[in-house]
Amino acid sequence: LALLPPVLVPHSGVLLESHQDLAPLTIPTPSPSWQSPTVKDLIGFGLQVALGMEYLAQKKFVHRDLAARNCMLDEMFTVKVADFGLARDVFDKEYYSIRRHRHAKLPVKWMALESLQTQKFTTKSDVWSFGVLMWELLTRGASPYPEVDPYDITRYLLRGRRLPQPEYCPDSLYEVMLSCWAPAPEERPSFSILVSELERILASLKGEHYVNLAVTYINLEHDPPFPPMACARVPRPAAKRPRRAAPIS
């Protein structure tokens, strides 16, 4: 096996046992020195994931199932990008069959629009999923689009609807998330750009972003820790209103 960076966990049954001390990113194990995350902690976790995905992109690998449930956290709070094939069993309700592919269960609420339409995955579809992962982090593990039926998600996204800005999410970070959800894949940032953007955002955080959040991570099976919010829309050019024809005299 090629040497892997610390933020990647190799997929191997032989190596699984040595990583049993890792916890899912959405359910960290409390410790005396670290009880609840700050906004800075959450963005830092996202930066670690972006670094791992940057490495995968450089090696021409496509993850296809990037989500918080497939990222692990060790006792030193180092994030490991992984996919042990276990998440589909543990979080089975997050995977759904698309009508045209009834036998293939897919994480539709994390999938890019073009992947929902064609079942094709690229690094830019991983970028879309990364935006959803960042939203998961800033909501402390809420499930995306809880009000949308999985079979309606494609039509929902085609209307320009997107996930809302989380309560504690800086505006600059939400702009990064929205860029990950651009309808056209070529309009989305690369993981190298995402790494730079997250580093810039982390460097700009002020004192209020260091305060421990009152609500820590929750299991994805639980209700969101905040009331329903209106989803954001991707801005579109204003349509011109047609002129009325003058009456014939």
Q: What are phi and psi of 69, to 5 degrees?
A: -65, -20
Residue 163 to residues 4, 13, 25: CA-CA distances in angstroms?
Answer: 33, 36, 20
Residue 78 structure tokens = 């180092």
Which of 214, 227, 165 lies closest to 37 in space, CA to CA? 214
How far apart are the C-alpha atoms of 199 and 201, rounded to whole Å?
5
Paired residues of 232 in beta bridges: 162
End-to-end CA distance of the chain: 83
How far apart are the C-alpha atoms of 35 and 19, rounded to whole Å?
22
**126 tagged catalytic:** no
Query: Going by C-beta distance under 8 Å and a sequence separation of 6 or more, which residues neighbour residue 167?
Result: 226
Active-site pick, 21, 41, 65, 83: 65
CB neighbours (10 Å) of residue 42?
Answer: 23
Question: CA 186, 142, 72 angle in degrees (round to 5)?
Answer: 75
Which of 139, 95, 117, 97 lies closest to 184 in space, CA to CA? 117
Residue 3 structure tokens = 């040497």
Largest CA-CA distance found in the chain, in angstroms, rounded: 86
Q: Catalytic residue numbers?
A: 65
